[in-house]
A = this chain, B = another copy of it.
């Protein structure tokens, strides 16, 4: 986001963890595999997990053209997309200060339905390449029927904020620091295991290098 946060994206609680610069926001969006899309129907909020891809100043989400969520989201209604990366558990001396290390991004806005075939194909390439870099070149590309069955929505990253909370417990300068209680962090990582070939694979093909050495931006 360029400029100061909007009234709606301003982080009110614990503002020292807030980040509004696009570099911090993009890093979280690009590392995460899954986002949570929030929309409202008949006053009821719904939150659904889905995949996302960031291209420049927009965040794409996609799904079946038959999806209720996508239909609602494409209708110009206000949306919220939230991405959360969990980095650890924070064990303080007091129960009260227990917490987690995390990095999260909240994007508010309305979505644009991507209808231009060229942009849509580029967006699908971005989904594939951001999910598994290298895969687009190997897999069969979408045909006309599949393109019709897929909706792609673009949400501008204009109203976005990140919260980044990392580091040791907060209570080391409180009276609790004298308590004989171990305090520290348990780091959490998302990792992959060696690829598993489809048992129905007809050809004697090894798993490609991008599957064996799978890594996301930001991973060690």
Which A residues have a C-beta under 8 Å from some C-beta of B? 8, 12-13, 33-34, 36-40, 43-49, 51, 64, 66-68, 78-82, 84, 86, 89, 91-96, 98, 100, 102, 104, 106, 108, 124, 127-128, 131-132, 135-136, 138-143, 146, 149-150, 168-169, 172-173, 176-203, 205-208, 211, 214
The answer on a CB contact under 8 Å between A96 and B45 is no
Query: Does A184 contact B169, Cβ atoms closer than 8 Å?
Result: no
* From A68, A80, A81, A206, residue with most partner B Cβ within 10 Å: A80
A138–B13 CA distance with the chains assembled, in angstroms:
28
- Which among B48, B80, B96, B169 is the interface contact of A46 at CB below 8 angstroms? B80
A205 CB, min distance to chain B CBs, angstroms: 4
Task: Find out whether the CB atom of B196 lies under 8 angstroms from the CB atom of A192.
Answer: no
| A124 contact from B40, B68, B95, B108, Cβ within 8 A | B95
CB distance from A209 to the nearest CB of B (A): 11
